[in-house]
Amino acid sequence: MRTLLLAFFVLLLSSINAQDRILGFGVIKLGKTYEQIVQDMQLKDIREGNNKKMDYSDLYQPKVAVMLQYDSSKYLNALTESFFKKCPDAIILKVPRYTVADITVTDLELTFYKKKLVDIMISSPKMEFVEAFQTKYGKGNIFKDSKVIKCASAARGSFEVEEVSYTTTYESNDPDIKITNFLSDYRDSKCAQQFLSYFRISNTNLLKELSTCETQAQDREAKKKERDLKKLSDF
Express each pLDDT in 145-203 by its tens digit: 999 999 988 888 899 999 999 999 999 999 999 999 999 999 998 899 999 999 999 99
pLDDT band at 230 (very low <50, low <70, confident <90, very high): confident
Query: In the predicted model, what is the mean pLDDT of residues 53-82?
Result: 79
The overall average pLDDT reported for the chain is 87
Is residue 102 predicted with pLDDT exceeding 50?
yes
What are the boundaries of each domain within the chain?
Answer: 2-210
Q: How much helix, strand and coil, in percent to the nearest 5, is found in the chain?
A: 30, 40, 30
Which strand ranges, in their side-by-side order, compose the sheet holding 177-187?
46-48, 65-68, 90-100, 103-113, 116-123, 193-203, 177-187, 157-170, 141-153
Is residue 77 predicted with pLDDT exceeding 80?
no
pLDDT band at 92 (very low <50, low <70, confident <90, very high): very high
Environment class of residue 85 by beta-carbon count within 10 Å: exposed (0-12), middle (13-18) or buried (19+)? buried
What pLDDT is stored for residue 235 in this prediction?
74
Closest by Cα among 179, 168, 127 to 145: 168
Among 35-44, 55-64, 111-120, 180-189, name the one with the lowest average pLDDT.
Answer: 55-64
Residues 6+ apart with CB under 8 A from 166: 142, 143, 144, 145, 182, 183, 184
CB 102 within 8 A of CB 81: no
What pLDDT is stored for residue 75 in this prediction?
59
pLDDT digits (tens, 9 = 90+) for 10-38: 343 344 344 578 999 999 999 999 999 99
Is residue 76 predicted with pLDDT exceeding 70?
no
Cβ count within 10 A of residue 150:
9
Q: pTM of this prediction?
A: 0.83
Is residue 90 predicted with pLDDT exceeding 80?
yes
Is residue 8 predicted with pLDDT exceeding 90?
no
Closest by Cα among 64, 43, 42 to 53: 64
Cβ count within 10 A of residue 179:
21
Higher-pLDDT residue of 127 and 13 is 127
What pLDDT is stored for residue 174 in this prediction?
95
CB 184 within 8 A of CB 196: yes
Higher-pLDDT residue of 78 and 175 is 175
Report the C-alpha gap between 75 and 51 in whole angstroms.
7
Report the C-alpha gap between 113 and 104 in whole angstroms.
26
Report the C-alpha gap between 157 and 183 in whole angstroms.
28
| Angle at the Cα of 97 from the Cα atoms of 96 and 102, rounded to 5 degrees | 170
| Three-state SS at 30 | coil
Q: What percent of the chain has pLDDT over 70?
A: 90
Judged by phi (left if over 0) then psi (alpha if -120 to 50, else beta), residue 124 lies in left
What pLDDT is stored for residue 4 in this prediction?
45
